Amino acid sequence: MKQKTVFCCTECGNETLKWSGRCPVCGAWDSFKEVKLEKSGGKTAAVRSAKVPKLISELDNEEELRFSTGIGELDRVLGGGAVKGSIVLVGGAPGIGKSTLLLQLCGLVDEGQKILYVSGEESERQIKMRAQRLGVDGGKIYVLAETGLNEVLSAAERLEPDLVIIDSIQTMFDADVSSAPGSISQVRECTMAIMRQTKDRGYTTFVVGHINKEGSIAGPKVLEHMVDCVLYFEGERSTSFRILRAGKNRFGSTNEIGVFEMADNGLKELQNPSEILLSGRPDAAPGTCVTCVIEGSRPILAEIQALVAPSAYNSGRRSSNGIDYNRATLLLAVLEKRGGMALSGCDAYINVIGGLELDEPSADLATVLAIASSFRDKPLGADLAAVGEVGLSGEVRSINSLNMRLTEISRLGFKRCVIPAHIKDDIKAPQGLELIAVKDIREAIRQTLG
């Protein structure tokens, strides 16, 4: 048997026949790894392609079959529940809570579902102990501590489950592939085989993937191309917050997030993340301002902090966490030029609390106010929030969904909110919330910091 090898870029999944030092597609250096194409894989693929094409008008047009995972926040990120016949990759750093999430899912999903929980990382006893601690019992949960791909596939074939969980893909091992578990060829062949069986049998598979230091799922990016959904489980290990985000979703949008808190007895869903995100907020500290962003369909309040201090160097250092670095430096420049603050000789650090990433321009105004407040060393007051986009001339521009944001801001007890002056007529201030309409950042600073 003649074995064929190709070279596969670990960054983008590009395949070539010849090795090269730099990937011509994504530009990554030293990213090509040799991958052996197993003969058996090729043959199966050829047989599969012998399927007869069908007319699109003759295909069943019923919606994909969805079911609830029993975890509302997970359903939300998946686009309204899990889809039968789909494969979902759950990525995240070690210890973030991937195994916990999926084991809890086993206990919460509808009792009638037959589940196969495969773990290559823990023994059956360890899984049992963890399940007990999480209060997962009963139901039709079958546990298999196994790393052999063929054993896993045949167990799934015999059991005919509705749901399969593989924890993790990096521990799975296909005996036909000569390289070590976790290598590109292994991860790729195993995912391919699991995916094929998932689609054929119509069950749903959740696969855990560890994330490497660059933040992508260890092994090749190819993995992300193959599966239907990629969910990232994020958060700082030092805080109890966890955010579930879709990086790819064939069956729904990718802008919904799910928010959890890691407690002693597992993950808790946070339906009202704003409250927790704002808890522990200093009352009268300078350099903090709250804003409201829309994540998917949900308004979430976020606290932006800024620390501005005279720099020891000629040009100040800038760092930004949770807000795009370029956006942050742009806002600092606008504030310097249009707000008359001498920031270039200052170091400026900007941080969003709770590990949130704000990518909406509506957070601009609150960022500017937090910086100005730190620069003047004067608090804005704990009852103030701000929403609005800031333009290059320092003008404050209107944003969408203002009513929804104001309602959330008012619900959390804020008394004053800075908003753009040019807004549509249908904007109504919720009771007890004073609106401060401003045309530009100078006016915003004058009205809030005097």
Interface ranges with ligand TYD (CB under 6 A): 92, 94-100, 130, 133-134, 262, 264-266
Nearer to Mg ion, 91 or 273 (CB): 91
Nearer to ligand TYD, 98 or 221 (CB): 98
Please report how close the Cβ of residue 218 comes to Mg ion at its closest, in angstroms. Answer: 13
Nearer to ligand TYD, 98 or 188 (CB): 98
Chain position whose Cβ is nearest to Mg ion:
99
Q: Which does 96 bind (CB under 5 to 8 A by kind): Mg ion, ligand TYD, none?
A: ligand TYD
Q: For tokens 């310097």, what's the residue?
A: 336
DSSP assignment letter at 178 = -
Question: Is residue 254 a contact partner of residue 91, using CB atoms and an 8 Å limit?
Answer: no
State the distance between the two ends of the chain, measured CA to CA, in whole angstroms. Answer: 81
Distance from C-alpha of 394 to C-alpha of 87, rounded to nearest angstrom: 47
Alpha helices for 339-386 (secondary structure H): 364-376
Question: Is residue 433 a contact partner of residue 406, using CB atoms and an 8 Å limit?
Answer: yes
CA distances from 95 to 101, 262, 410 (A): 11, 11, 36
Please report how close the Cβ of residue 273 comes to Mg ion at its closest, in angstroms. Answer: 24
Please report how close the Cβ of residue 231 comes to ligand TYD at its closest, in angstroms. Answer: 12
Q: Which does 43 bind (CB under 5 to 8 A by kind): Mg ion, ligand TYD, none?
A: none
Q: Which does 94 bind (CB under 5 to 8 A by kind): ligand TYD, Mg ion, none?
A: ligand TYD
Nearer to ligand TYD, 88 or 390 (CB): 88
Q: Where does this chain touch Mg ion (CB under 5 A) — which range of 96-104, 298-306, 316-324, 325-333?
A: 96-104
Strands 15-16 and 298-310: unpaired
Please report how close the Cβ of residue 208 comes to Mg ion at its closest, in angstroms. Answer: 6
| Proportion of the chain in helix, strand, coil states, percent, rounded to 5 | 30, 30, 40
Question: Is residue 291 a contact partner of residue 277, using CB atoms and an 8 Å limit?
Answer: no
Nearer to Mg ion, 71 or 277 (CB): 71
Strands 229-234 and 204-210: unpaired
Q: Which does 69 bind (CB under 5 to 8 A by kind): Mg ion, ligand TYD, none?
A: none
Residues touching Mg ion: how many (CB under 5 A)? 1
Q: Return all residues near 339 (Cβ < 8 A) that are at least 6 apart.
A: 368, 372, 394, 441, 442, 445
Q: Which does 239 bind (CB under 5 to 8 A by kind): Mg ion, ligand TYD, none?
A: none
Nearer to ligand TYD, 261 or 336 (CB): 261
Nearer to Mg ion, 92 or 339 (CB): 92
Position 99 contacts Mg ion (CB under 5 A): yes
Q: Which does 100 bind (CB under 5 to 8 A by kind): Mg ion, ligand TYD, none?
A: ligand TYD
Q: Which does 215 bind (CB under 5 to 8 A by kind): Mg ion, ligand TYD, none?
A: none
346-352 sheet: strands from edge to edge: 318-321, 346-352, 298-310, 288-295, 384-386, 416-420, 434-438
Q: Which of 436, 349, 430, 348 shows the shortest CA–CA distance to 387?
A: 436
Nearer to ligand TYD, 171 or 373 (CB): 171
Please report how close the Cβ of residue 263 comes to ligand TYD at its closest, in angstroms. Answer: 6
CA distances from 208 to 127, 164, 241, 275, 425 (A): 15, 11, 19, 30, 49
Please report how close the Cβ of residue 261 comes to ligand TYD at its closest, in angstroms. Answer: 10
Q: Which does 258 bind (CB under 5 to 8 A by kind): Mg ion, ligand TYD, none?
A: none
Distance from C-alpha of 134 to C-alpha of 131, rounded to nearest angstrom: 5
Please report how close the Cβ of residue 122 comes to ligand TYD at its closest, in angstroms. Answer: 9
Please report how close the Cβ of residue 404 comes to Mg ion at its closest, in angstroms. Answer: 37
Q: Which of 449, 447, 348, 339 shows the shortest CA–CA distance to 394?
A: 339
204-210 sheet: strands from edge to edge: 140-145, 114-119, 163-167, 204-210, 87-92, 229-234, 241-249, 257-263, 266-269
Q: Where does this chain touch Mg ion (CB under 5 A) — which range of 98-106, 169-177, 331-339, 371-379?
A: 98-106
Question: Is residue 235 a contact partner of residue 242, using CB atoms and an 8 Å limit?
Answer: yes
Q: Which does 264 bind (CB under 5 to 8 A by kind): ligand TYD, Mg ion, none?
A: ligand TYD
Please report how close the Cβ of residue 96 comes to Mg ion at its closest, in angstroms. Answer: 9
Nearer to ligand TYD, 168 or 305 (CB): 168
Instruction: State phi, psi for 370 to the nearest 5 degrees.
Output: -65, -40
Nearer to Mg ion, 96 or 156 (CB): 96
Please report how close the Cβ of residue 267 comes to Mg ion at its closest, in angstroms. Answer: 13
Distance from C-alpha of 389 to C-alpha of 360, rounded to nearest angstrom: 9
Residues that bind Mg ion (CB under 5 A): 99
